[in-house]
Structure 1
Amino acid sequence: MYDYKFSDVNLTTWALFRLTCSAMQKVAERKLAKLGLTPEQVDVLWICRDYPDTLIPAEIARLISREEQTVTGLLNRMEREGLLKRVPKRKGKPFTEVKITDKGTEAAGAGVEVAMSLITEIMSILSAPEHEELQRLLQVLQRKTAELLQVELVLKDYSLEETITAPR
């Protein structure tokens, strides 16, 4: 890994944050690949196993911060592998439900065990006060990005063409 230092403190922090996240993702990918799983699959299996309510694809997308079409592709692959099944809409149920299979529950157990071991290994180098400070700082960044995402969603819903062609 490189020690990035840029003249702009924002860029240095951004690069360090992105590279650290990328490296942690890569480690998780390598560890979980030994089980034939991806981090995204483990996220979905973990949610399907432990979520207290009925799950639908849109809720899974929200929980893992992915676009719905990305989750649909992931669910298609996981269903083909027998890790989960989708139960079509039924009377009184307006949405397709996602259910974990026995094979998926077994894979979730192994995947979550590997993920938790990795999380503990990486995060245990921080002291309790460092965890609190990091969480506080990440929450600040999370609020700002949520604000920017909301602005983006509002702009997507707003038709620029209507504004341009509207009579003056």
Structure 2
Amino acid sequence: MSTKLGRGDKAPVFELPGDQAKPCKLKSYAGKKLVLYFYPKDDTSGCTKEAIDFSALREEFDKIETAILGISPDSPVTHGKFKTKHKLNLDLASDETKAVLEAYGVWTEKSMYGRKYMGVERTTFLIGKNGKIAEIWSKVKVPGHAEAVLAAARALG
């Protein structure tokens, strides 16, 4: 069952396999801000656009000591191919068990054409240097989203 997180909550700890055969751990980002974005599937139109947008702003995020990590249920191999195909310069982590998706409350019941199924609700968390959630964007609409997250990360200081 998914948990509903809010601003000010401690970010749930995680360790997941990354796209480059290295683990992605929350504690690796200690002392930095972290944009943690959850997306449904590699190489689909919305997910590709979102990844490209975050990747394009990577240098701006770096200037304000903010890391970017995308998480989906896809495998590390799929993530690697996705990154190579679209020349992405950000880290991707694989949550095939969906444990982290559930901990962050983004593995939810969805509906399409009257059929109900479980899936990832596109959601972004901005985690402060203190390890607490500073901002949450739920049911993200991709156009302009990366820019809005960058502005929030700048404002967080």
TM-score range, shorter chain: under 0.3
Structure with the largest fraction of helix: 1
TM-score normalised by L of structure 2:
0.27
Q: Give the number of the structure with larger relative contact order, counting CA–CA contacts within 8 Å between residues 6 or more apart.
A: 2
- Name the larger-Rg structure: 1
Structure with the largest fraction of strand: 2
TM-score normalised by L of structure 1:
0.26
